[in-house]
Structure 1
Amino acid sequence: MQRVTIVGSGFAALTAIKTLRSRDKSIDITVVSPKPEFHYLPGSIWIPSGLRKPEDLIIQLDSFFQRMRVNHHPAEATGLSDDGRILKTTEGEIENDGLIIASGGRFIKKLPGIENAITPCEGISATTRIRDRLRELDSGVIAIGFSGNPKEPSAMRGGPMFEFLFGIDRQLRLEGRRENFKLIFFTPAEKPGQRLGPKAVKGLIQEMEKRDIETHLGQKMVKFTATSIVMENHSFAADLILFMPGMTGNQWFDNTKLPRSPGGLIQADDHCRVEGMTNVYVAGDSGSFPGPDWMPKQAHMADLQAAAATKNLLSELKGEPPSETFKVELVCIVDSQTSGMLVARTEKRNIVMPNMAIFHWLKRLFEWWYIRQYR
């Protein structure tokens, strides 16, 4: 019986499990992650307003693992040996015939004073902190921004920050408190949202103007303090700072011979195969893949990469060359609590549809559909 080890229990990992089991009923699957849980982070944008509670988005995977006949190894990955055939973990070593790395990315937290900011995509607990801080504040300045990894153009996650920006604006209006707050959006990019496409940039800026959101664009951040953000040429006060830094690879990658991109991610080819290694694949935020510089780091892209990686690994295990590639596709709804803007981008098309209530409800419907398969 052939053995496949999957590192992680997020979007890419779960898609890999489903793809493996649908194509091979006998293969032995071991998943390595601290807990048998899936955190549906896209829904965390609704925690500050109370539309979602943490328990709505933390899915226990015991039943799913049982249905898929998965062995869960509760541990963290710490390294590799024997050219990837042995995964080292905090709870011992695991041998494999094939390895899929889907352990996500790590935020670059080198900016001085970054501990004064909340990074929403770090997890559900971060968004509950945002919820609690908003409840505590009677008035003040809320600053929301993001940056990237200069050595890895695709290693950023700006979309959720637009959602927190517009969502908090809408939440404060519904609560009758918006006039007590100044909202500021900041980023070193001169044209925020470029990876969503030129049409989206224009739409996002117009939306900020419409909502009376102040912008600070095109300047690098120097540091954060408990009460301010210091930019290259100026600074401004902030009572609550939400900031999404760029992403790099997991720290455990440093204890391996995995090939790395200039930005610190695992270098992969267009088949999601880790370069120079046999039967080792990567999907999602952990990897650096060939493609356009606007290639997204989002759940949909992770799913597409995981499906390709899994099919190629099964081919390799059969002695056949990998042939599956993945489509580079960005699809998202930039939600603002009661409405949303649809953005879709491929190498041939860029579609942007304005804020409409139907898109908010479609996003909620998709969440229900996606989560139910793992309950």
Structure 2
Amino acid sequence: MSRVTVIGAGFGALTAVQKLRKLDSELHIDVIAPKAEFIYLPGLIWVPMGLRKAEDLTISLDNFFRRLKVHFHAGHVQGVRDGGRVVITNNGIVENDGLIIASGGRFLKKLPGIEHAITPCEGIPAAEKIRDRLAAMEGGTIAFGFASNPKEPSAMRGGPMFEFLFGIDRWLRKEGRRDKFELVFFTPAEKPGQRLGEKAVKGILSTMKKRGIKTHLGHKMKAFEADRVITEGGEFDADLIVFMPGMTGNQWFSDSGLPLSEGGMLKANTFCQVEGQDKVYVAGDSGSYPGPGWMPKQAHMADLQAEAAATNLLAELNGSQPAETFKVELVCIIDSYDSGMLVYRTDKRNIVTPAFSGFHWAKRLFEWHYLREYRK
């Protein structure tokens, strides 16, 4: 019986587990993660406004792992050896015949004073901190921004920042407090949201203008202070800073012996196979993949990559060559608390809809549907 190890407990990792089990009912599957729980990160955008609480977004995976006959190992990965055949954790080693790395990325926190900014996609505590700060504020300036990894331009999370910005703007209006706040959006990019397509950029900037949101675009970041954002193009006051830095690979990647991109991600081919490695695959934010520059770092993309990775790994274990590629597809609803704008992009199409309340409810329905598998 072959033994496969999956590192991670996020979107890509759990999709890989489901695909592996679907293709092979007898396969021995080990999962390594700090906890046997899944955090539904897209729901973080609703925590500051009270639409979601920690318990709504935290799902125990005990039943899921039991149903799929998964052996769970609680621990933090510290490295791999023997070409990925051995995974080293703070809780011992786990051996395998094949490996899928879906452990996500980490945020680059090199800017001076970045401790003064809240990075919302770091998890529930960060989103709760934004919630608590908002509740304590009677007025002031809130700055929202994001940046990329200069050596890995696709390694960024811009979409959620638009949702935090538009959602909090709408929530403050519902509360009757918007006139007491100034909202500022900043990013080194001159056209924010370019990966969503040119139509989306125009729609986003138009929405900011209509809602009275100030912009500070096209200037490289220099530093943060407790009450200030500083860029090469000037600085401005901010009572609350919500900032998403660019991303890079996990800390342990650097000593793994696995090939890395210039930006610190695992280098993968079109089959999600880590370049030059035997039966080692990557899915989601951990990898750097060939494809268009607008390829997103989002849950949907991680799921598509995970399915390809699992299929190809089993093919290799069965003596065949990897042949499954993944579709490059961006699908998202940019939510605004009670409405949403649908954005869809492939190599051939780019669709952007006007904001519509139905898309907000569609996003919530999708959340329920997606989590149903793990809540059984």
1: CA distance between counterparts of 2:37 and 2:299?
Answer: 16
C-alpha displacement of 1:234: 1.2
1:228-259, Cα deviation, whole Å (9 max, x unpaired): 00111311000000000000000011221010
1: CA distance between counterparts of 2:75 and 2:140?
Answer: 42
Partner of 1:179: 179
1:117-172, Cα deviation, whole Å (9 max, x unpaired): 00011011110000000001000000000000111121011000000000000110
Matched, 1:210 2:204: no
| Bigger mean CA deviation after superposition, 231-240 or 9-18 | 231-240
Partner of 2:365: 365
Matched, 1:167 2:149: no
Partner of 1:296: 296
Unaligned runs of 5+ in 2: none
Partner of 1:93: 93
2: CA distance between counterparts of 1:229 and 1:51?
Answer: 29
Instruction: Map 1:176-325 to 2 at 5 A.
Output: 176-325=176-325
CA contact (8 A) 1:78 1:255 kept: no
Partner of 2:69: 69
Instruction: Map 1:22-171 to 2 at 5 A.
Output: 22-171=22-171
2: CA distance between counterparts of 1:324 and 1:114?
Answer: 41
1:195-226, Cα deviation, whole Å (9 max, x unpaired): 00000000000000010000000001110000
Large movers: runs of 4+ above 6 Å = none
Unaligned runs of 5+ in 1: none
2: CA distance between counterparts of 1:250 and 1:185?
Answer: 28
SS of the residue corresponding to residue 131 of structure 2 reads helix
SS of the residue corresponding to residue 230 of structure 2 reads strand
2: CA distance between counterparts of 1:65 and 1:2?
Answer: 18
SS of the residue corresponding to residue 64 of structure 2 reads helix
Partner of 1:335: 335
1: CA distance between counterparts of 2:313 and 2:296?
Answer: 23
Partner of 2:350: 350
Amino acid at match of 1:71: H
Amino acid at match of 1:317: L
C-alpha displacement of 1:337: 0.5
RMSD: 0.5
1: CA distance between counterparts of 2:166 and 2:351?
Answer: 20
SS of the residue corresponding to residue 348 of structure 2 reads coil
SS of the residue corresponding to residue 347 of structure 2 reads coil
2: CA distance between counterparts of 1:223 and 1:19?
Answer: 44
Amino acid at match of 1:337: Y
1: CA distance between counterparts of 2:105 and 2:8?
Answer: 11
Amino acid at match of 1:41: L
C-alpha displacement of 1:342: 0.4
Amino acid at match of 1:308: A
Amino acid at match of 2:287: G
Amino acid at match of 1:119: T
Identity value in percent: 66
1:61-111, Cα deviation, whole Å (9 max, x unpaired): 000000000011000111111111100111011110000000000100000
2: CA distance between counterparts of 1:284 and 1:154?
Answer: 12
C-alpha displacement of 1:276: 1.0
Q: TM-score, normalised by structure 1?
A: 1.00
1: CA distance between counterparts of 2:56 and 2:121?
Answer: 16
SS of the residue corresponding to residue 354 of structure 2 reads strand
CA contact (8 A) 1:273 1:309 kept: yes
1:303-342, Cα deviation, whole Å (9 max, x unpaired): 0000000000000000100000000000000000000000
2: CA distance between counterparts of 1:74 and 1:149?
Answer: 30
SS of the residue corresponding to residue 353 of structure 2 reads strand
1:271-328, Cα deviation, whole Å (9 max, x unpaired): 0000111000000000000000000000000000000000000000001000000000
